[in-house]
Amino acid sequence: MVYFYSAAKPRSRGALWPIFAPALILLKAAFPLAASSANATYDIPYGTIQRPTTRNNSYEKSRFEVPALLWADLGDGEHGFSLLNSSKYGYDAKANVLRLTLLRSVASPDPDADQGLQHFVYALYPHSGDWKQALTEQQGWDFNYNLRALQVERHSGSLPARHSFFAMEPNNVILTAVKKAEDGDALVLRFYEYAGKDTEVRLHIPRGATSAESTNLMEAPDKTPVLAQDGTVVMDVKPYSIDTVKVSFQGSGPEYWERP
pLDDT along the chain (260 residues), means of 10: 61 64 80 94 95 93 91 95 93 95 83 80 92 95 88 85 85 93 90 95 84 91 80 91 90 50
Q: Is residue 152 part of a domain?
A: no
Residues 80, 112 within the same domain: yes
Report the chain's terminal Cα–Cα distance, integer Å.
43
Residues 109, 58 within the same domain: yes
Strand 27-32 with 120-128, pairing: unpaired
Q: Is residue 133 part of a domain?
A: yes
Q: Is residue 258 part of a domain?
A: no
Residues 117, 241 within the same domain: no
Residues 48, 86 within the same domain: yes
Q: Which helix (H) or strand (E) holds 137?
A: helix 136-144
Q: Is residue 198 part of a domain?
A: yes
Residues 113, 242 within the same domain: no
Domain of residue 11: give its range. 2-144
**In this predicted structure, what is the pLDDT of residue 96?**
95
Q: Is residue 154 part of a domain?
A: no
Task: Judge contact between 44 and 71, C-beta under 8 A.
Answer: no
* Other CB atoms within 10 A of residue 254 CB: 20
Nearest in space to 72 (alpha carbons), one of 103, 46, 51: 51
Question: Which residue, of 112, 144, 176, is where some domain finishes?
Answer: 144
Provide the CATH number for the domain around residue 72. 2.70.98.30
Residues 62, 111 within the same domain: yes
Nearest in space to 214 (alpha carbons), one of 240, 180, 191, 183: 191
**In this predicted structure, what is the pLDDT of residue 121?**
87
Strand 39-44 with 12-16, pairing: unpaired
Provide the domain count of the chain: 2
* Other CB atoms within 10 A of residue 239 CB: 12
Residues 108, 174 within the same domain: no
Residues 220, 133 within the same domain: no
Residues 71, 172 within the same domain: no
- Order across the sheet with 209-215: list the strands: 173-180, 187-193, 242-249, 209-215
Residues 22, 60 within the same domain: yes
Provide the CATH number for the domain around residue 192. 2.60.40.2220
Q: Is residue 259 part of a domain?
A: no
Q: Is residue 161 part of a domain?
A: no
Q: Is residue 150 part of a domain?
A: no
Residues 6+ apart with CB under 8 A from 104: 26, 27, 90, 113, 114
**In this predicted structure, what is the pLDDT of residue 149?**
85
Q: What does the alpha-carbon distance between residue 246 and residue 15 come to, in Å, rounded to a whole number?
A: 40
Residues 120, 176 within the same domain: no
pTM: 0.85
Nearest in space to 169 (alpha carbons), one of 194, 195, 147, 199: 199
**In this predicted structure, what is the pLDDT of residue 259?**
39
Residues 202, 115 within the same domain: no
Question: Which residue, of 111, 144, 177, is where some domain finishes?
Answer: 144
Residues 6+ apart with CB under 8 A from 192: 46, 47, 173, 174, 176, 240, 241, 242, 243
Q: What does the alpha-carbon distance between residue 54 and residue 63 come to, in Å, rounded to a whole number?
A: 10
